[in-house]
A and B are shown apart, each in its own frame.
Chain A
Amino acid sequence: MTTIAGERMPRHGVRIIAIWLVLTAIAVPLIVLVLGPHLPPPRMSAEAGSQRDANTLMTALLVPIALLVVVYFVYSFVFFRQSGEAILDGPPIKGHAGAQLLWIVLTSAIVLALAVWGSYTLIAGAHGAGGGQGPDPASKPTGYRNALPVQVIGQQWEWTFRYPTYGGIETRDLAIPDHTLVAFHVTSLDVTHSFWAYELGVKADAVPGVDNIAYVKARHTGLFQIRCAELCGLWHGHMSKKGRVLASGAFQSWIAAAKTKNAAIVKYLPKYNRVYFPAPLRRAG
């Protein structure tokens, strides 16, 4: 207990830290063990896994920071409250160089650590983390030369898919094999869309005239949700469908069936290209 002007002062700082430590000790294990496995996206691919790890780590790091501020504020509301009509001035403390320095050092350390760790997972750990990296990806996963290319074509308002290594066939359904590195080449025929495969942890803007590449390697078979994440006009909210991750053999038979199913149109399709500039720009009536 310190005393100021003969009055016994409770040690507010110690109490606040103690409350905060207790709450943090409860919250962080709960976040990591209970909430973490439910944070998005589901771990259907390594890239999605890295995103969930990022979300879990940041939640576990940021919740204590939020708790510190909230505990402090609530504590001050209870103990530093002035009731009654009289307006009394508090102690004229204008600052504290040590506290300010400590705050700056701590926040800078957290922020820099987050940036370094984020850059590491982005470049070295997760190789783009499933995000669209443009026509010339900066961080390529190992074996990217042998990745299965799948072109995703956004148009108002549907997704279609081309498989250049399977004769350039085009389909309206998306299927990819599991345990195989897939390179999504996302492009658009008209306006900007954004290809979002939720469970795979893939998001890449579909930009006209741009080949936006995102790598992903699915861990297991199953369905995933495809949506459009960039407003693209009237039916933006309806540009969703289910994609499938298939076992290798099932994928081969699926693609054979897709070839037969879409055989009639093949001779009319343009040659496979990284981007398309379909005419017309404007139409006269």
Chain B
Amino acid sequence: MSATPIAPHRPVWRRLIGFNMLTGLALGIGGWFLGAWIGGQMAVGHDYLLGTDQNDVGLYMGYLFGVIGWLVGLGFANYPIGRLLGRPPTLRHHETGSWTRYFRLCTDHKVVGIQYLFGVGIFFFIGGLNAMLMRTELLRPVEQAWPAGQYLTLLSLHGTMMIMMTSAFILGPFGNYFVPIMIGARRMAFPRIEALTFWLVPAAGLILMSAIAFGGIATGWTGYAPLADEGRAGMDAYVMSFILIAISLTLVGLNLLATILTMRAPGMSWTRLPIFVWSVLATSILQVLAAPVLVAAMAMVLMDRAANTSFFLASAGGSQYLYENLFWFFGHPEVYILALPGFGIVLEMLPVFARKPLWGYRLAVAGMLGVTLLSFMVWQHHLFVSGMNGSLRPFYMLTTELISIPTGFIFLNAIGTLWRARIRFTVPMLFALAFFFNFLIGGLSGVFLSDVPSDVTTHGSYFVMAHFHYTIVGGLVFAFFGAVYYWLPKMLGITLNETLGKIHFWLFFVFFNLTFFPLFAAGFLDMPRRVSTYAPSLQGLNDFVSASAYVIGISMLIFVANLIWSLVFVREPAAENPWASRGLEWQVPTPVPVANFDRIPVITSGPYEYGVPNAPPVADLAPSALPAAGS
């Protein structure tokens, strides 16, 4: 059953009119000006807003109305209004039709997954461009390429953009696309909310980009108050975009949680659940519990800036510790929001390319749930030298080091799975194996940071920066690209060029390590983070790092070229199951039908039974005893 276009003969211009991205953009921009005008009226008589040439209220109102306009233009208001007017409930929007459904509200989880893949990907590349520009400045020990203020904006944009977008990097594209298929469901639990979670992401990204037009951001991605209170108007964009992303993360988590808990096919017991779905489940718990705290912290910054409150101003009774604690109560689970889906993806791919069952499945699940639990108990390790109560430091040292036990489980799973395996070095497998090497270094360097005496030197230095780039870029981003090479044949129905893929991998892997390993040394040699000027003796090191970073940029361009080449020029159709995987997602046709399955499948076996004698197929896709689709 292929998608049937509703009106195949309508001219292109006619298809542009209606509730879609263009309308959303137009209404969003219109809403921004309306909101800014209303905010201007609200600010009258308040010197702290008008006397600064920086009306924060106007900006917040502009962004608020802009987002509302964007969502209305996309058609999010149609259904509630229709219901209020007494129209009958409908379930689905624009799930069939031409390519235009990718640019409008669509409740098909597969369309949303692809929207996420490209939407988040674009912002990821903008964040990467910022990194290239930062390394250009750091070629010289004093400000040379860009002035100090612009450099701070650059690093803040890079950090914020990357954290916001990589949070949605796995659960967005692959969680939305594959979780329902992998658990044998036809859709997500809340399809309209699913569409909303995606369309908030470009809104947040565009708002963050607008910070440039309002004087930039000077706080880095952590946005520490009270520096955030006194920042230029670009700070409002930071606050607003983080609020939107946090709402999106919370809703993604709720939606996936509900889907996994309630919509598994018959026979999909907890011990047959693919490990990727387990990692999504763990991540969803983190997102639901952590992201709302970020909204609270951001709301306080918003009030300090727009309403003259003093949550974070010590001289008026506030405390910056309030911000630091709230932020890191979100911020530390956040780094596991980034790490856990990576664990899931690499463990999902290892059995396929090692041709063996996943070794220690229950241990992997325990590891992920253990990380989930512990990640809420470690946040004050970001504050070891902040003047927090000294008696608490051994406790946070202990919990932080404890978290390496469940993380170690993932390594044991990999070790066991590779034991006497038949490893095939496909491009996704290369990325999965590189993940373990990078995450090993990232994780072990984290032990230095967890030890207070060592942290006194490394805190706030390039050592920290190298550490979390090893875990996030070396971990999550490598897992992401592995997933792209692994699952794109199913998602887009095309095969990516393998030679270009291998060039991409080797350039990325080698120069990633050449970029970030020397930065551990830079941190050890007293180079603080977020500086545009550094000791002249470190220039050689920094030039080397910049040169390596440019090669990472080139490797990314090779990936984009590969994607465009394979997707637009060659269009070689992919096999339905090119990796001979047992995963349920590979048993459905390509392209995946709108309803995924003709009949709800009955799961008969685990997904990793490679080499098990007489193992049954993973599912019965045409069970006779169950009702047909749509009934």
Contact = CB atoms under 8 A, between A and B. Distances in A.
A48 B393 CA distance: 18
Given A89-B610, A90-B356, A209-B319, A230 B226 contact: no
B397 A118 contact: yes
Nearest to B48: A282
B456 A237 contact: no
Given A39-B524, A111-B402, A207-B320, A131 B422 contact: no
A69 B440 contact: yes
Interface in A263-283: 275, 277-279, 281-282
B423 A58 contact: no
B433 interface: yes
Interface in B367-390: 383-390
Contacts of B565: none
A160 interface: no
A93 B420 contact: yes
Nearest to B609: A92
B354 A90 contact: yes
A69 B416 contact: no
Interface residues of A, number: 102
A205 B385 contact: yes
B490 to A, nearest CB: 18
Interface string A192-217: 10101010011111011111101000
Given A70-B437, A196-B528, A233-B218, A123 B394 contact: yes
B291 to A, nearest CB: 23
Contacts of B226: 190-192, 208
B387 A65 contact: no
B456 A80 contact: no
Interface string A66-84: 1001101100110011100
A145 interface: no
Contacts of B566: none
A229 B437 contact: no
Interface string B412-430: 1001101111111100000
B122 interface: no
A90 B384 contact: no
B404 A111 contact: yes
Nearest to B533: A237
A91 B405 contact: no
B359 interface: yes
B436 interface: yes
Nearest to B352: A87
Nearest to B149: A234
Given A76-B421, A201-B457, A207-B321, A284 B357 contact: no
A17 B561 CA distance: 43
A12 interface: yes
A192 B611 contact: no
A128 B357 CA distance: 48
A41 interface: yes
Nearest to B404: A111
B387 A229 contact: no
Contacts, number: 300
Interface in A25-77: 39-41, 47-48, 50-51, 53-55, 58, 62, 65-66, 69-70, 72-73, 76-77
A223 interface: no
A237 B531 contact: yes
Given A51-B456, A237-B148, A58 B447 contact: yes
B20 interface: no
Q: Which of B422, B441, B533 has the most CB of A within 10 A?
A: B422
Interface string A172-195: 000000000000001000111010
A40 B357 contact: no
B8 interface: no
Interface in B452-471: 452-457, 459-461
A282 B308 contact: yes
A43 B423 CA distance: 48
A118 B447 CA distance: 11
B433 A73 contact: yes
A122 interface: yes
Nearest to B612: A92
B227 to A, nearest CB: 4
Nearest to A278: B315
B436 A73 contact: yes
B526 A196 contact: yes
A96 interface: yes
Interface string A217-258: 000000001011111111111100000000000000000000
Contacts of B534: 237
Contact of B528 (A108, A135, A229): A229
A95 interface: yes
Contacts of B528: 196, 227-229, 236-237
A174 B457 CA distance: 19
Given A95-B416, A231-B220, A234-B148, 10 more contacts: A58-B454, A76-B423, A88-B422, A90-B421, A104-B409, A107-B408, A205-B386, A208-B313, A208-B320, A275-B314
14 contacts: A69-B411, A77-B425, A90-B611, A91-B356, A92-B356, A95-B363, A115-B397, A118-B401, A121-B453, A132-B386, A138-B390, A229-B528, A232-B227, A237-B148
